[in-house]
Chain A
C-alpha cells in the first residue's frame, strides 16, 4: 500500500523508483528523499486525446507526476482525506476531489449520460457534478478529499442507498446510479424540505458520504 494516513487530513506516500504517483498540483506538503514533481500538462494518463477529453468534459483538475525515491506528504485545504484501496474494481469520483492516486490505476473520464440516458444528464446538471466524472480502475490506492469525515455505506441488491447529491463523495463497484426526485407541490411554492433531489444508488458496491453538504 502506497498511502499511509498520518492524521485525518494528511497522508504519507512512499515513492519507489519505477512507480509513479499522480497527485493534485500543489498538494505536496513535505517530502524526504529524492523526489521529482513534474506538472502533468495532459492532466493524467492517456496522452493528448485523453487530455482533450478531459478538457471538454471539464474534469481536468491539474495533476502532477511524482517520481523518485522517498516519502511525500499530501494534504489540501484542510479537507479530510480518505484512502481507498482498489483491488481490481472501479471507483467513480469527481476530479476535484482526487488528492492522489497510484500510477498503477487506469484513469479515464466517463460520460454520465451513458448511464441513465437523458436522466443521467439531467442528474449531472441538477447535482452540480457536471456531465462527466472520473473513473479509476485497477489495483492501487486512491486518496479522496471530503469536507468533514467520510463514512461508507454498503449497497446491496435489495438495499439501495439514497444520498444527498451535495454529500456524495465517490462510489465503487457495480452500481447503477440515478437521480430520484421527491418533488411535490410543496417544492413549487417554496415550501420544500430541501431534500427534493437524491441520488439513488443500487447494485453491488460501496458509496462514500461526507458529513457535510458543502461541495469542494
Chain B
C-alpha cells in the first residue's frame, strides 16, 4: 500500500514498498531509495484510453513510478489536496491531477456541451476505485458541500474537481449589459445539484466565459 502524505502544503510524499503509483510526467522532485520511472502513453488507460484521450483533448502524460522508498512530487508550486476514494468517483481536470495510487482506475468522461463555454473542454478525467489521489490547485482549495435543495454555482475557472453524485449544468447570468461590454465578469457559471463535494480554488484560470 502506497502511503500518501503532505510535506508542507505544496509537496506530496509517497511512501512505497514495491507498489506503484501513477503521476504527472516529470513531477518528481526528489526521492530516497530505489525508484523506476516509466512513461505511460495515453494516460495509462491502454490503447483505447489513448485514442479516447487524443480525441477528447484530455491528454495526460503520465508516468508509472514503482519502487521502494519515499518519492516526492510537486507541480509548479501549486497546493496539493489529498482525496481518499472509497469506491466513489472523482472528476478532475487532467491538468489538476498530480498523482493516483495504482489501485485507482482513470478514464475520461463526457461533461456535455456546457464544457465548451466554460473553457474546460467537453471532457474531464474520471478517477474511480479505492485509494488515494492527489489533486493540485492554485492556492489552497476549499471544499464545498452540495446537498439536495442546496445547489452550488462555481466560476468555471475556479472549479478544480468534484466527487459524489452531482449533476452539472451551465448557467448563464448574461444579460443585455453583457452584450454591450458592461458585464460583471461572471456571465457563465457551473451549477452543481445533487449530493457531493466540490473543490474550488482561489484563482481563476482563463476561460472563454471569463472575459464577459
Contact = CB atoms under 8 A, between A and B. Distances in A.
B39 A192 contact: yes
Interface residues of A, number: 26
Contacts of B39: 186, 191-194
A39 interface: no
A151 B8 contact: yes
B167 interface: no
A58 B61 CA distance: 35
Interface string A136-175: 0000000000011101010000011111100100000000
Contacts of B30: 153, 161-164, 167, 207, 209
B8 A149 contact: yes
Contacts of B35: 162
B32 A195 contact: no
A210 interface: yes
B29 A194 contact: no
Interface centre among A149, A163, A192, A195 (most CB of B within 10 A): A195
B12 to A, nearest CB: 9
Contacts of A159: 32-33
B25 to A, nearest CB: 4
B158 to A, nearest CB: 21
Nearest to A209: B30
A151 B7 contact: yes
Contacts of A164: 26, 28-30
20 contacts: A147-B77, A148-B74, A153-B30, A162-B30, A167-B74, A191-B41, A192-B39, A193-B25, A193-B39, A194-B26, A195-B28, A209-B29, A211-B8, A211-B77, A212-B10, A212-B29, A213-B26, A213-B27, A213-B76, A214-B76
